[in-house]
Amino acid sequence: MSAIEITGVSKVYAGGVRAVSDVSLSIAEGEFIVLVGPSGCGKSTLLRMLAGLETITSGTVSIGSRVVNEIDPAARNIAMVFQNYALYPHMSVYDNLAYGLRNRGVPKADIDARVAEAARMLEIEPYLTRKPKQLSGGQRQRVAMGRAIVRKPDAFLFDEPLSNLDAKLRVSMRGEIRQLQRRLGVTSVYVTHDQLEAMTLADRIVVLNGGRIEQVGRPLDVYHNPASTFVASFIGSPAMNLAEAEVMGGSVAIGGQVVANGISGVKDGKLIVGLRAEDIQPAAPGTGVPFAVRYIEELGALRLVHGSVEGRHLTMALSPDLPLADEMKVAVAADRLHFFEDDSGRRMTR
Amino acid sequence: MQTKRTVFGNRLLPYAFLFPQLAVTVIFFLWPAGQAVIQSFQREDAFGLSTTWVGLANYADLLHDPTYLNSLKVTAIFAPAVTLLSVGLGLVFAVCLDRLVRGSRIYAALLVWPYAVAPAVAGIMWWFLFNPSIGLLPYLLAAVGYRWDHSLQPTDAMILVVIAASWKQVSYNFLFFMAGLQAIPKSMIEAAAIDGAGPVKRFFTIVFPLLSPTTFFLAVINLVYAMFDTFPVIHATTGGNPAQSTNILVYKVFVDGFIGLNLGSSAAQSVVLMAIVVTLTVIQFKWVERKVNY
């Protein structure tokens, strides 16, 4: 278990492509960090630099108190779980788990004990003599986890480990990974493009975009105070509604239609307003903004109503008990509005 | 899996399409092979004027013929040596190229070239390179005190034909190993690196085992090649000499049949060869399915 310190790290590929730009991040001992972002945002490259599978163009990475820039993956004492599991197909599950220990000259009795312990923890004891081919996707995933656990590494690195599983299994494995990490207390860095995984697993989320950090924060902080329109649209499902708006004397207007009043601390002028779907609700009789319903998605516990206000597409999340109409009157929670700069998309301080 | 089925309007049309290939197979393969089997039970005089049925006598004679037994022994050295050398070098080149970041395409193209060279030409080229009076290599070997003469020294002659026969086959093996290496997921190698295995250990514990189906396939293919397709190489270099030391089975079939005009014995030898190739092929298909255990 060790803290990880990333200082001003950049990665420029031979062709001149800049994958990661000046990323700095302090990861505390035992912390579960999730790197999240769309494909091509540099999250996997950053993880691979931590693992030592990619060279670091500039900046430093330290694991524990040691700068590891020039240290081989083998000597960094990290363990990695790959998206395709990368199990050794010609070895039994036992040998897969034992491989890293044997390479490090761990005595045979210790190997037996550690493999047995990991197998028990992951409930893969019955499969130790099988080949990876004879296992289901979920079992392979457990073996891959086991291979990381037996090593007792300073850090776990996860590279989209759940994306090859079906939806149901993904949810249960997600829970198991979280519990396991809590129990073992090993510093973990987890890469995913799934914001739901990020929200549910992370102690802190790191949102990456175009090789740069957009925001670092605890899941709920990121959800409630997105630092930019990018984070706002990436974190949370359904995505936050974003609309061009105008503020004039404390009133917010979308397409000329005033949707909220009594706003303080925001300069007059054009900006982008953000509204969570759950912050738009049907208005009290006789008040509200006209909302033209286009289509409805039933989620069971929730009902997503897609429609428009003055031609701007908005989504609201309603309780399924509420009555529906083609034309509805809605009200927005003025104190729950988010304001972003029109040009940069950065969050405006109020 | 549902495969697409084409329905022909005319019942004879599919047979018409198959006819050219079948004709080639029947006229140039099945018929001569059948002839060989028949001839192997006959004895014919050199002018083809009289033919007598002798049953298994040709086969029985082979077992007591010291030159045939010698030829068997020569093949037992030649074929595995060619296989080992060409498969080994193919693997070495493929692994080297796999580690190369820049210019791998150029090297790959260059390494494939020898395969396009006709075997007889390849044989002649090595014959020139190793020619005791004008060749480059004997000149270099002389510098380290070795007198190369493949026209007198059986060992030298064997080395020459093994190298000449392996040379073009390396290209073929290289291609298969390249494909095999590319089929190994990169993440598996990375996982092994993180698991603390250095490059050499990774090769022997991960890469080579994963290539084993390719290796086995190539071993059989190369054995078959060395035993049956190396006639031009022998013919262009040593002609089976000196003292029968490079007279492999397939070359002896030619010498006994076309030079010695002992058609019956030649036919019997080719039937034996046929039996060997069938056996090797059966082993290959049986084994490859069983060996691939992942």
pLDDT in tens, A96-120: 999 999 988 889 999 999 999 999 8
Could you give the strand order of the β-sheet that contains A4-12, starting from the edge strand earlier in sequence? A18-27, A4-12, A58-63, A66-67
Are the CB atoms for B116 and B122 separated by under 8 Å? no
Q: Which residues of chain A have pLDDT under 50?
A: none
Domain end position, chosen among A203, A234, A265: A234
Q: Confirm whether A309 is domain-assigned.
A: yes
Residues A208 and A278 in one domain: no
90-119 of A, contacting B, C-beta below 8 A: 90, 99-100, 103-104
Residue-level pLDDT at B88: 94
- Pairwise CB contact (< 8 Å): B192 & A88: yes
For the residues B248-263, what does the mean pLDDT come to?
A: 80
- Pairwise CB contact (< 8 Å): A100 & B190: no
Q: How far is B178 from chain A (nearest CA, A)?
A: 19
Residue A297: which CATH number? 2.40.50.140
Residues A186 and A47 in one domain: yes
191-250 of B, contacting A, C-beta below 8 A: 191-198, 201, 205-206, 209-210, 212
Residues A134 and A15 in one domain: yes
Q: Give the mean pLDDT of chain B.
A: 84
Facing residue for A86 by CB, picked from B185, B201, B205: B185
Quick check: A238 contacting B, CB < 8 Å?
no
Q: Which domain holds residue A83?
A: 4-234
Residue-level pLDDT at B3: 62
Residues A285 and A320 in one domain: yes
Q: Confirm whether A349 is domain-assigned.
A: no
Domain end position, chosen among A209, A234, A259: A234
Question: How would residue B290 be classed by pLDDT, with cut points 50, 70 and 90?
Answer: low
Residues A20 and A148 in one domain: yes
Residues A13 and A154 in one domain: yes
Contacts of B191 in chain A (CB under 8 A): 80, 82, 86, 88, 147
- Digit-coded pLDDT (tens) for A216-251: 999 999 999 999 999 999 998 889 999 999 998 888
- List beta partners, residue A274: A242, A338
Residue-level pLDDT at A231: 94
- Digit-coded pLDDT (tens) for A53-110: 999 999 999 998 889 998 988 888 899 999 988 999 999 999 999 999 998 888 999 9
Residues A198 and A161 in one domain: yes
Residue-level pLDDT at B123: 80
Q: Identify the structural domains of chain B with CATH numbers, from first to last.
A: 89-113+169-291 (1.10.3720.10)
- Digit-coded pLDDT (tens) for B34-60: 888 888 888 777 777 777 787 777 787
Residues A227 and A79 in one domain: yes
For the residues B92-102, what does the mean pLDDT come to?
A: 84
Residue B149, pLDDT > 80, answer: no
Contacts of B193 in chain A (CB under 8 A): 53, 72-74
Residue-level pLDDT at B291: 57
Q: Confirm whether A115 is domain-assigned.
A: yes
Q: How far is A252 from chain B (nearest CA, A)?
A: 52
Residues A248 and A208 in one domain: no
Q: Which residue of B has its CA nearest to A50?
A: B194
Question: How would residue B1 be classed by pLDDT, with cut points 50, 70 and 90?
Answer: very low
Residues A225 and A265 in one domain: no
For the residues B9-22, what does the mean pLDDT come to?
A: 89
Residue-level pLDDT at A310: 86
Q: Confirm whether A189 is domain-assigned.
A: yes
Q: Confirm whether A121 is domain-assigned.
A: yes
Q: Confirm whether A347 is domain-assigned.
A: no
Quick check: A73 contacting B, CB < 8 Å?
yes
Residue-level pLDDT at A222: 93
Residue A136: which CATH number? 3.40.50.300
Q: How far is B42 from chain A (nearest CA, A)?
A: 52
Residue-level pLDDT at B229: 83
Residue-level pLDDT at A1: 62
Domain end position, chosen among A234, A254, A275: A234
Contacts of A52 in chain B (CB under 8 A): 194
- Pairwise CB contact (< 8 Å): A90 & B193: no
Residue B101, pLDDT > 80, answer: no
CA distances from A75 to A51, A153, B197 (A): 10, 11, 10
Question: How would residue B138 be classed by pLDDT, with cut points 50, 70 and 90?
Answer: confident
- Digit-coded pLDDT (tens) for B172-187: 999 999 999 988 888 9
Q: Which residue of A has its CA nearest to B212?
A: A90
- Pairwise CB contact (< 8 Å): B206 & A132: no
pLDDT over 90 percentage in chain B = 17
Q: How many domains does the structure of chain A reveal?
A: 2
Residues A122 and A211 in one domain: yes
Facing residue for B194 by CB, picked from A74, A90, A132: A74
Residues A189 and A314 in one domain: no
Q: How far is A69 from chain B (nearest CA, A)?
A: 15
